[in-house]
Amino acid sequence: MAKILVIDDEEQLRDLLKQMLSRDGHDVTTAFDGVEGIRVFNEFKPDLVITDIIMPNKDGIEVITELLSKNPKIAIIAISGGRRAITAEFNLESAELLGVKGILSKPFTREQLREAVKHALGL
């Protein structure tokens, strides 16, 4: 299946996503923030990146922008639960405008994740 990079500062969610995607046969690696995510992206060369929007050090919008500038064809799924006065919808609409292949608002189901992954990978 696909090589997938999951970038999220919430350890429990990051681990859960890795577990779910690995069970579906994907080769999954993770990163805890955007800075580490960019480094891992360059080493791992994933087919798909799933990134949170609100993270420390380098947020998801910065990650998406940088990844798409390096590889305009990379499949990216943006995820967000929103925080403070910024809603998840605003975050995800911003990511969509940048050209991500899918968006998921937290919390999402395993089936929603599977469908987003299939769509982003063109399966």
Per residue, the 3-state secondary structure of 39-50, as one string, reads: HHHHHHCCCEEE
pLDDT of amino acid 89? 64
pLDDT tens digits for 80-93? Answer: 875 544 555 666 66
The C-alpha atoms of residue 62 and residue 12 are separated, in whole angstroms, by: 23
Q: Can you read off the two tokens belonging to residue 2?
A: 């696909």
Query: What is the residue range of 87's domain?
Result: 3-121
Please say if the pLDDT value at position 72 is more than 50. yes
Mean pLDDT score, 36-62? 95
Share of the chain above pLDDT 90, in %: 74
Lowest-confidence pick of 46-55, 69-78, 95-104:
95-104
Mean pLDDT score, 55-71? 93
pLDDT of amino acid 57? 93
CATH of the domain at 88: 3.40.50.2300
**Nearest C-alpha neighbor of 118 from the set 24, 40, 32:** 24
Q: How many domains does the chain have?
A: 1
Q: Can you read off the two tokens belonging to residue 79?
A: 């995820």
CB 45 within 8 A of CB 29: no
Whole-model pTM: value is 0.91
